[in-house]
Amino acid sequence: MMRKFACMLALVAYVGVPAVCMAQFNLKTLKSATKAVQAVTLTDAQMAEYVKEYIDWMDKHNPVCDESSPYTKRLETLTSSLDQVEGIKLNFKVYHVTDINAFACADGSIRVFSSLMDIMSDEELLGIIGHEIGHIAHKDSKNAFRTSLLTSALKDGISSQGGKAAALTDSQIGTLGEALVNSTYSQKQEKGADDYGYDFLKSKGKNPWAMALSFQKLKQIQEEAGAKKNNKLNQLFSTHPDLDVRIQRMTERAEKECIAKP
């Protein structure tokens, strides 16, 4: 979901955006708290509770652009027809942060970082969003959340009372956030998300060239930044299939369908 990315760059502000100080994406953890350890079988209802709790926490602890922000208006224009996927209602917000990132949650919440918007054209941004929607549609985001919850947030133990999921501590939510940002999908899942994103954008009247263009921009960013060890920039799609392969696949599809490149 498009997700496992966190990167930082010195950026040229998006034209028309006020010069407001941006914060760094907040994934900091608080002092760890321990709960009684119990075996937990997560039901879909409990999963929905945890997803909501997670995204609510993220929205509260990161600067969300308001309705008057040029970032918000731009994203609303781009996604006006992207209302739902596979029966899941999509909702979009912009975090005004220095990191270059975007992530999606199983409930259809997609969060785009302002610094990613700064360096991408509308078409490139749509490609990133289309890919994230593909992960939601294929339940990759849901499964990744479940795995991260069980392996990270539950390390302190989470109990279930009367079928209701126990509330997460701030520490556990922070740990969960780090696990989600750094989690990986298989190459098969990434390929599937690319193909779904292509078809989804096309079905919504968007130019599916967006997929190839977004990958081309990511490759350009990586090349300009250099392959520095532990460079957060290289976490952006660093675990995805080779960008050259993805660019070629999406380009060949668009050319075969005689779709004009924007």
Residues identified as active-site: 132
How many angstroms separate the Cα of 172 from the Cα of each of 37, 53, 85, 184?
Answer: 14, 11, 29, 20
By three-state DSSP, how is residue 111 classified?
strand
Whether the CA torsion 215, 221, 224, 229 is positive or negative: it is negative
Contact 122, 201 (CB under 8 A): no
Residue 194 CB neighbour total at 10 angstroms: 25
Dihedral of the CA atoms 222, 227, 231, 234 (nearest 10)? 40
Please give the structure tokens belonging to residue 9.
Answer: 């760059």
For residue 215, give the nearest of 74, 120, 140 by alpha carbon.
Answer: 120
